[in-house]
Amino acid sequence: MQLVITLVVPDPHDLVAALEAVEIAVAGTGAVVGEPDLLGPNAADLPVASDFQALIRERAEAALAGRRVDVCVQPAAGRRKRLLIADMDSTIINVECLDELADFAGVKDAVSAITERAMAGELAFEGALRERVAMLRGLGLTALQRCYDERVRLNPGAETLVRTMAAHGARCVLVSGGFTFFTGRVAAAAGFHADRANVLVEDGAALAGSVVEPILGREAKLAALREESAALGVTPAEALAIGDGANDLAMIEAAGLGVAYRAKPIVAAQADARVDHADLTALLYFQGYRHEQFWR
């Protein structure tokens, strides 16, 4: 089987040493290692002929332990994806919007504690969302726009990731357990084709402390992946899914390439690859895009 190992580093000076370490480690398995292919100043592919993908990944990750390097090991065929399904909070953007709204309501500590447990998989997402939203009852609607304007920022590389994939024919969908007020704005800013999220109930002046049922959670994110794939006439194997919390795990496991971004341990352990150090353009390199192909 023809595999490709992609290395992405925040500091280009670290790339050569990382490639050498992986090449030595992988060659020890008996695999045939080809010549590195530089994809950009901070990323490269290393082609490998081997029938033991899991072993190659294990050896590559062990060789890179302690280094600021993100690595992806996958079959060379079919690596460029037709669909991007992305989580929003703490993935495409820098914050958890619900926690930031809670700050405006004066209950951030209590809400953030529940968020942390839900994202770690310790609490059922739907119940945790209802509990947190209930704490926002009476919060004026003007706080939503203030929250977006003052707190929400796209994570580094997010817009480049989305607009590059879109420019090359992929469909890009933002799927969040958060709220449509934010996903609509974030989707427009980053270049997503569509967004799915929960709807906050309000009375025209303030939040009612509830959301429209059914809640978009873990299973709804998986359904979005399947529905969007079917609409494109492709399989989930041709999709890339990225997220950081337990409610992202089902779609990450179902996608052809499931990536954990600065993720909770439960997610990082199950994903096909992790992005812990580089920015979101690492996902473009994982798909074989070259730096000169990036949207600017």
3-state helix, strand, coil in the chain (%, to 5): 45, 25, 30
Tell me what pLDDT residue 250 has.
97
- For residue 62, CA distances in Å to 26, 65, 99, 160, 268 come to 10, 5, 36, 30, 15
| 3-state SS assignment for residue 201 | strand
The residues facing 66 across adjacent strands are none
One domain for residues 176 and 56: no
Tens of pLDDT along 151-184? Answer: 999 999 999 999 999 999 999 999 999 999 999 9
φ/ψ (deg, to 5) at 23: -60, -45
- 168 and 67 belong to one structural domain: no
Is there a single domain that holds both residue 230 and residue 90? yes
Whole-number Å distance between alpha carbons of 238 and 267: 20
Cis peptide before 236 (omega within 30 of 0): no
Asked whether residue 266 falls in the same domain as residue 180, the answer is: yes
Return the CATH number at 8.
Answer: 3.30.70.260
Same domain, 88 and 186: yes
Cα 213 to Cα 258: distance, rounded to the nearest angstrom: 28
User: Is 256 within the bounds of a domain?
Assistant: yes
Instruction: Show which residues are catalytic.
Output: 87, 89
The domain tally of the chain equals: 2
First to last CA, the chain: 35
Look at residue 83 and give its three-state secondary structure. strand
278 found inside a domain: yes
For residues 53 and 206, give the distance between their C-alpha atoms in angstroms, rounded to a whole number: 53
- Domain check: are 179 and 225 in the same one? yes
56: helix, strand or coil: helix
Q: What is the mean pLDDT of the chain?
A: 97
Residue span of the structural domain in which 221 resides: 80-94+154-296
The structure tokens listed for 88 are: 């929003």
- For residues 73 and 85, membership in a common domain is answered with no
When pLDDT is averaged across residues 215-235 and rounded to a whole number, the result is 97
CATH assignment at residue 274 = 3.40.50.1000
pLDDT digits (tens, 9 = 90+) for 15-62: 999 999 999 999 999 999 999 999 999 999 999 999 999 999 999 999
Q: What letters, b where the CB count within 10 A reaches 16 and e where it falls short, cover 30-60? A: ebebeebeebbebbbbbebebeeeeebbebb
The reply to whether 265 falls in a domain is yes
Quote the CA–CA distance of 51 and 92 in Å, as a whole number: 34
